[in-house]
Chain A
Amino acid sequence: MLRFIARRLLETIPVLFVILTATFFMIRFVPGGPFTAEKAVTPEVMRNLERAYDLDKPLWQQYTRYLRNVLLHGDLGPSFKYPNRTVNEIIAGKLPVSLELGAEALVLALVLGLTLGVLAAVKNNTWIDYVCSSAAMTGICLPTFVLGPLLVLLFAIHLGWVNASGWDGPADRILPCLTLGCVYAAYIARLTRGGMLEVLSQDYIRTARAKGASEVRVIFKHALRGGLLPVVSFLGPAIAGILTGSFVIETIFQIPGLGREFVNSAFNRDYTLVLGTVILYATLIIGLNLLVDVVQVWLNPKLKFE
C-alpha cells in the first residue's frame, strides 16, 4: 500500500506542474487585465501599475520568477486586487472557513444520507422507503440557490431564530450547512439505497441470515460494507465539489470563504490569486481522489493496490 501511495504522490508532481503552467498562461490570454477598470487610467499611470506588478516584463520572465518564488519560498505572490495582502495571507484566512463549512456539511450529508438510504433499502417498498426516496429526490431536484433562500425566509425572517447571513456565531453555521449538506445527503441516500439493495440480495447475506445472525448485525456488519462502495466512489469528487463549489452558498449567506475568492479572482483578473487557489484546489482534489482509492480497496477485498 505504501508503494502505491508513494507512486501516486510522485505522479502528482507533473500533474500539478501542468495545471500551474496551463493556468498561468490561460489567465494571461483572457481579454482584459487586472487594471482594466471602467474609470480612466492614463498611459503614465498604467505603465506605473504594470511596472509595480512586473507586468511590463516578458511573459516567460514573469513565469520563471513566479515558479521560483512558489517552489523555493512557497510564496504565491502579492494579490493584484488587494495590494496590502499576499495570496498566502488570503488563503490562510479563508481556507479554514471553507473547510469548516465543507466538513460540517459533509458530516450532515453523511449522517442524513446514510440513515435515509439504509432505512429505504431495509424497508424496501414500504411507506418508509417511499418517504425516504421522495425526500432524496426532492433534495436532488432543489438547487442550493432555491433551498438556501427558502430556509432563510423561514428560519431567519419569519421565525427569527437565526441570522439571515453572516459567519460570526455557531448559530450562523446552521443554515449554510443545512443547505449545502441536504443536496449531498440526497445523492448519498440514493446511492446507499441502491448499493444496499444490491448487496442485500446476495448469497453471502442469505448465508449470514441462515447462520442466525441478527438483522442489525447483517445490515451493519455484512451489508453496509459492500453497500457503501458506490457512496465512497461518489465521495471523492463530492468532497472536492463541496469545497470548491461552495461559491453559491458563500454568496447566499455572505460567508468569507475561499470558494467565492476562487471565482471572483478570475473575474478580477487577480492573476496571482487565481493561480494560488487553482493550485490549492488541484492539490486537494488529487489528495482526496487518492484517499478514496485507498478506502475503496480497504472496503472491497476484490480490489488490489495495483
Chain B
Amino acid sequence: MHRKESHLSQYLCVISCLVAAISSSCSRPEPAAAREQVIRISQRNEPTDLDPAHGIVDEFFIIRALSEGLVTRSPGGGLRAAAAERWDISADGLTYTFHLRADARWSNNEPVTAADFVESYRRLLTPATAAPKATLFFGVKNARAFVAGELTDFNSVGFRAADEHTLVVTLDHPMPDFLAYAASGPWIPVNPRVVGRLGSAWTRPGNFVGNGPFILAEWQPHQRIVVRKNPLYAGAARVRLDEIDFLAFDNDDTEEKAYRAGQVDVTMTVPVTKLAVYERGRPADLHHAPLAETRYLTFNTGRLPLNDARVRRALALAVDRVKLVDRVVLGGREPAGRFLPATLRPRNDPDLSASEALKFDPAEGRRLLAEAGFPEGRGFRQLELTAWSPSQTPVLEAIQEMWKKELGIEVTIATREYGAHVAALRSGAYDIGFVTAIPDVADAADVLRNFTIDAPLNYPHWSDARYDALLAEAERTGDAAQRAGLLHEAEARLGELCPVAPLYFNARNWLMTPRIRGWQEDELWTRFYPSIYLQEN
C-alpha cells in the first residue's frame, strides 16, 4: 500500500511537471499592453490579393489600412478628403478637379503625384489586368470602351494629370454621386514604378508600397497579415496604433472560442446561438451595426405562375417580416418593407404608397392570388425555394410555413452549393431564390441597375420598359433632386410589380474587447483605422 502511494505521488509529480512544461512552452500571444498599441482583428476569407485592382470585398479591409484613395467615406455617412485635400466640380457636373496633398508620400518616400493616379487607373482599366471591379469606373469618359478593348488610346479616357498635384477627371455624363464611386476601394492608387518593376509580386511583404497609415510587414496565407505604422504617412500624427494583426478565422465557432481564449480582440461576427449568451453575460463586448445589404427573394419571372405580378406580390405580402426578423433571423436585423436600405436612399426620400410598400397583409395577398386564378392556393404549382447555405434553412422554412398558412400554397426547400446556386440564378434554372444585394458604393442606382433588362445580376430575368427608362433617365440627369425622384419611382415600381421581395436589411454583430476605443465603421462596412486606440480600464 505504501509502495503504491509513492508510485502515485511520482506519477502526479511527473504529470504536473509535464503540465507546467506545456503551459510554459505555450506561445500564447500576450494581450498587448496599452503602451504598445497592437490590436488583433479577425479576418474572414483569405484576401485574393492586396492589389486594389484585384480586390472584391474582404480584401479592402486590409488594403484600406495600407493605402488610401482620393476621397474616403466618413463614419457618419458622407465623404471626406484623403489623398486629395480638396476638389472642384465644374458647372456642368462633368469635370472633377482633385488637388492632391503636396506632402503625401509613398511608403518608399517617393512623392504621390497625379501621374501616379492616372497610371494606376490606366493599369486597372487595361483589359489584360482583368480587374473584376472595373465597372466602378464606367462613369468616367470612355472608360467602358477602354475596358472593352474598343479603344486603345488611354489619352482619350477621362483622366489627366494637369500638374504634379492636380488630377482632372472627366465624366461621360453628369453623376451627382460620382464621389461615392471615387471613394470605393478600386479607386485606391498603386505605385506604378513598384508595380512595373515587380509585377504581381509587388503585393508581398517587403515589396508592398502604399500611401496609407500602415505598411505590410507579414503575410502568412490563411494565418495572419501584420501591418505596422507608416511613419511617412501624411497623417501619421493622427494614427495611434503601432500594429494591426489581421488573424484568419474562417469559422464562426473557432473565432468565438479564440475570442474567449483572449487570442483576438475584434471578431468578424458572433454565432447566432451565442448572441443571447453575450447579451446576458458580457454586454460590453457585443457590438451591433446596421449594414446597407438587402436580403431578398428573387422570383423567376420567366416561369409560370411567377410571370404574373399579382402572384409575386401576393407571395411578398404574405411574409410577416417582423416575425421573421425577431424570431428566426435574430441579431437586430431590420424588416425590409422596400428594397433600398436607408443609407442608399437620398435624404428626405418619401415613403412608398400602400400599393408599392410591402407590409404584412395576408388578406390582400389572398385577394391577389384569387384574382390571378388560385383562390385559397388551389391549382398552384409546387414551387422550389433555394438558398446556398444550410444556415439559411430556418429562414426559408419560416417563409414556407407563412405561405402555407396565409395563402394555402406549398413550396419545397433546397440548398445548393454557392456556385451552383448563383449559376442557376443567372441561367434562370430556379423558381424562387434567396439572395443578398451588397452595394459597392452608397448609390441607389448601383443596386437598382441590377434589375434592368441587360444587367448581369437581373436574377428575376425581369423586363420592364418603364423601369429601364427610369434608370436610364436617372443616369443621364445631372440634377440631384430629379435623379432622386426618378430612382424613387424605380424603387416604387419594384415594390409594385415585385420581381423581387425584400425580406430584411442585414446587420453586423461582432465581439470587441472593451479596451478598444475609437472603432468606427459605416453601413458599407468601411473600416477607419487611424482613430482606433487601446486603453486599459
Residues of A within 8 A of B (CB): 30-33, 35-49, 51-53, 81-85, 90, 93-94, 149, 152-153, 156-157, 160-172, 174, 251-254, 256, 260-261, 267, 269
Query: What distance in Å separates the Cβ of B199 from its nearest Cβ neighbour in chain A?
Result: 9
* B422 CB contact (under 8 Å) in A32, A85, A171: A32
Known: A39-B457, A163-B26; 13 extra A-B contacts, CB below 8 A, are A36-B422, A36-B423, A38-B436, A41-B135, A42-B138, A44-B147, A45-B135, A48-B149, A49-B132, A83-B51, A163-B28, A164-B258, A256-B222
Residues of chain B within 8 A (CB-CB) of A47 are: 127, 148
Which of these, B26, B134, B253, contacts A161 with CB under 8 Å? B26
B127→A39 contact, CB < 8 A: no
Residues of A within 8 A of B221 (CB): 82, 85, 90, 93-94, 256
Q: What are 25 pairs between A and B in contact, CB < 8 Å?
A: A30-B420, A31-B420, A32-B418, A32-B423, A35-B132, A36-B423, A37-B56, A39-B457, A45-B135, A45-B147, A48-B147, A52-B130, A82-B48, A84-B51, A85-B221, A156-B261, A163-B258, A166-B223, A168-B29, A170-B27, A251-B251, A254-B249, A254-B251, A254-B258, A267-B418
**Distance in Å: Cβ of B143 to nearest Cβ of chain A:** 10
Given contacts A45-B147, A51-B130, A83-B200, contact A162 B28 (CB under 8 A): yes
Contacts of A83 in B (CB 8 A): 48-49, 51, 54, 200
Shortest Cβ distance from A283 into chain B, in angstroms? Answer: 23
Please tell me which one of the listed residues B28, B149, B223 contacts residue A167 in the complex, with CB atoms under 8 A apart: B223
A16 to B273, CA, bound (A): 45
Cα A168 to Cα B25 with chains together (Å): 12
C-alpha spacing A229/B294, complex, angstroms? 60
| B204–A84 CB distance below 8 A | yes
Contact among B46, B419, B435, B455 with A40 in the assembled complex (CB-CB below 8 Å)? B455
Contacts of B149 in A (CB 8 A): 44, 48
* A46 to chain B: closest residue by CB: B456
Given contacts A36-B426, A254-B258, whether A172 and B250 have CB atoms under 8 Å apart is: no
Tell which of A82, A84, A256, A261 touches B248, judged by Cβ atoms closer than 8 Å: A256
Verify B438–A39 contact, CB threshold 8 A: yes
**Chain A residues closer than 8 Å to B56, beta-carbon distance:** 37, 39
Q: Quick one: closest B residue to A161, CB to CB?
A: B23
Q: How far is the CA of A47 from the CA of B134 in the complex (A)?
A: 12
Collect the chain A residues with CB atoms within 8 Å of residue B223's CB: 166-167, 256
A-B pairs with beta carbons under 8 A, tally:
180
B74 within 8 A of A: no
Residue B450 lies at the interface, judged by CB distance under 8 Å to chain A = yes
Which chain A residues border B261 with CB–CB below 8 Å?
152, 156-157, 160, 163-164
Chain B residues lying within 8 Å of A40, measured Cβ to Cβ, are: 135, 450, 455-457
Decide: B250 and A251 in contact? CB cutoff 8 A.
yes
A31 in contact with B419 (CB, 8 Å): yes
Q: Name the distance in Å between A42's Cβ and chain B's nearest Cβ.
A: 5
Contact between chains at B27 and A48 (CB < 8 Å): no
Asked whether, in the complex, the Cβ of B258 is within 8 Å of the Cβ of A45, the reply is: no
Q: Is B307 at the interface (CB under 8 A from chain A)?
A: no
Chain B, residue nearest A79 (CB): B48
**B201-212 interface bits toward A, Cβ cutoff 8 Å, 1 = contact, 0 = none:** 101100000000
Distance A169 CA – B223 CA, assembled complex (angstroms): 13
B7 CB within 8 Å of chain A: no
Residues of chain A with a CB closer than 8 A to B420's CB: 30-32
A49: B residues at CB distance < 8 A? 130, 132
Q: Let me know if B131 is at the binding interface, CB within 8 A.
A: yes
The answer to whether the Cβ of B330 comes within 8 Å of any Cβ in the partner chain is no
Is B91 on the interface with A (CB-CB < 8 A)? no
Closest chain-B Cβ to A227's Cβ sits at a distance in Å of 29
Partner of B258, one of A38, A166, A169, A261: A166
**Shortest Cβ gap from A80 to chain B (Å):** 9
Residues of B within 8 A of A35 (CB): 132
Residues from chain A with a CB closer than 8 A to the CB of B22 are 161-162, 171, 174
Residue ID in chain B nearest A167 by CB atoms: B223
Residue of A nearest to B57 (CB): A39
Contact across chains for A52 and B220 when beta carbons are under 8 A apart:
no
* Chain B positions within 8 Å of A48 at CB level: 127-131, 134, 147, 149
Measured CA separation A97–B154 after assembly (Å): 46
Kindly state the separation between the CA atoms of A261 and B27 in the bound complex, as whole angstroms.
Answer: 26
Question: Measured between alpha carbons, how far is A261 from B221 in the docked complex, in Å?
Answer: 11
Task: Give complex CA distance A160, B48 in Å.
Answer: 34
Whether the pair A84, B148 counts as a contact (CB closer than 8 A) is no
B237-272 contacts to A (CB < 8 Å): 247-251, 253-254, 257-258, 260-261, 263
A174 CA to B417 CA, complexed, in Å: 33
Nearest CB on A from B261, distance (A):
4
